[in-house]
Amino acid sequence: MYSSAPPLPPACTPPQQLELPPSRPVSFHGKGRNTCVIIIVVVVPIIVLFLVFLAVFISVRAKKTRTTYERELPTEERDDITNAGSLQFDFKAIEVATNRFCETNKLGQGGFGEVYKGIFPSGVHVAVKRLSKTSGQGEREFANEVVVVAKLQHRNLVRLLGFCLKRDERILVYEFVPNKSLDYFIFDPTMQSQLDWTRRYKIIGGIARGILYLHQDSRLTIIHRDLKAGNILLDADMNPKIADFGMARIFGMDQTEANTRRVVGTYGYMSPEYAMYGQFSMKSDVYSFGVLVLEIISGKMNSNLYQMDNGPGNLVTYTWRLWSNGSLLELVDPSFHDNYRIKEVSRCIHIALLCLQEEADDRPTMSAIVQMLTTSSMALAVPQRPGFFFRNKYEQGGLVDLSINTSALCSVDDASSIITQVTPR
C-alpha cells in the first residue's frame, strides 16, 4: 500500500573545477591611468575656464548695470552714485508708506512725474517723487539728481532721504515739506494774503542764500537750470527750500559756463543766452532769480502776456517800463495793502532788474546779490535793459527786436522748452 522511499543520492563528489583561461591582473598603472589623466587634464581646465568666464561675465553685467546710472557724469561723481546705494529704499516699503500710491496721498504732479505723501512705520513723513515712465527725465537725470542732492546740506535746499530703483520704477524720497510750493500761494488770489511782505522778503533772502550755496559755498559748483516758483517749497515756518535738481549741471572747479543742444527749463525763467543759444552759466540762474523776485513782489507770472497802455508785454517788460517812468510801486501785490516797506520793495525790484540784464556779464553774482539784500547802505548800479524786452513801435528805432514769437513756443511736459526767433522789425 505504501510505496518504497526513494533511493538515497550517491555520495556528493567534489565538482570539477573548470579551467578558465588565465586572466591578466587588473592594473591601475597602464592605459586606464592614462585615460584618467587625459580626462583630468582636458576637462578640469575647461570647467575652470568656464567658471572664470562666468564670473567675469557676471561682473561685467553688474558693472554695466551700475554704469547705466553713471554715464556722462564726471569721474568723481561715479564713485558717489555707488556710495549712494546706502540711501536705497525698498520698493515695497515705499508702497506701504504711500498706501500703494493712493490718489488721496498725492501732493502734486509735474512734468517728470507725481509726488505723494508717505508715512513710514517709524512715523517719519516723506515726499515720494515717482518719475513717470514716459517722462523726459531719463536715467541720466535720475542719477544726476541722486548724486547732486545727496551731497547738498543747506537749510534752503530740500533734503534727499533716499531713492528706489526697481525695474522701470525710479523713485526719489525727500523730506516732507508741508506747505507745498511758492506758486501755490503767490499766483492764487485766495492764498496770496497768507504771504505778507515780511514773509515774502524772507523768502527772497532764503532763495538767494540757497542759490549762493549751489554756486559757491558747496564743494561742487552747481547750476540748477530750472529755478521757478513751482520748484521753491515752503516748510512749516514758510522758509523756502529749493527743489528738483533733475536738470542741474555739475561744473568742474575752473569751469564757469557750458553749452548744450538740449535746452531744458521753463518758459519765462530762462535767460536769453540759454534759451536761444544753449549757453548756460551761474548767470543763467541769476536771471531766473530776477524773474522769481518780480513774481514774488507782484503775485503775477512772467510767462503771461499783459496788455499795457503802449502794447503787450510780459512781467519783465512791464517792470522795466515802471522803472523808466518812476512808478515802481505799481508792481506791488495789492494783497499787501499798505503793509510793506517802500525802501525794501524798491530795492528788491532794483536788484531784480540787475539780475535780468540782457548781457550775462552785466548781471551780478549771487554773492553780490546776497550782500545787496543784507546791506541796505550798499550802492546799487543802474540796470541796463532786460533780456526778452517787448518793444513797442516807439521804442524800436530800427534796431532788432528780441521779443518772443509766441507762435514758436513748444512745451515738453511741465518743464517747457522754448524756441525763439530773432525777428527784425
Using DSSP's 3-state secondary structure scheme, residue 333 falls into: coil
Would you give the DSSP letter of residue 98? T
Residue 156 cell numbers, joined: 534752503
The bridge status of strand 257-259 relative to strand 279-281 is: antiparallel
Residue 237 cell numbers, joined: 515756518
Among residues 79, 188, 217, 226, the one annotated as catalytic is 226
- Respond yes or no: is residue 226 known to be catalytic: yes
d(C-alpha 203, C-alpha 209), whole Å: 10
Q: Which residues of 26-55 are buried (b: 16+ CB within 10 A; e: fewer)?
A: eeeeeeeeeeeeeeeeeeeeeeeeeeeeee
Largest distance between two CA atoms of the chain? 157
d(C-alpha 414, C-alpha 109), whole Å: 9
Rounded to the nearest 10 degrees, what angle do helices 342-355 and 315-325 cross at?
120
Vertex 135 angle, CA 265 and 259, to 5°:
35
H-assigned helices in 326-420: 342-355, 366-374
Would you give the DSSP letter of residue 231? G
CB 416 within 8 A of CB 267: yes
Active site residues: 226
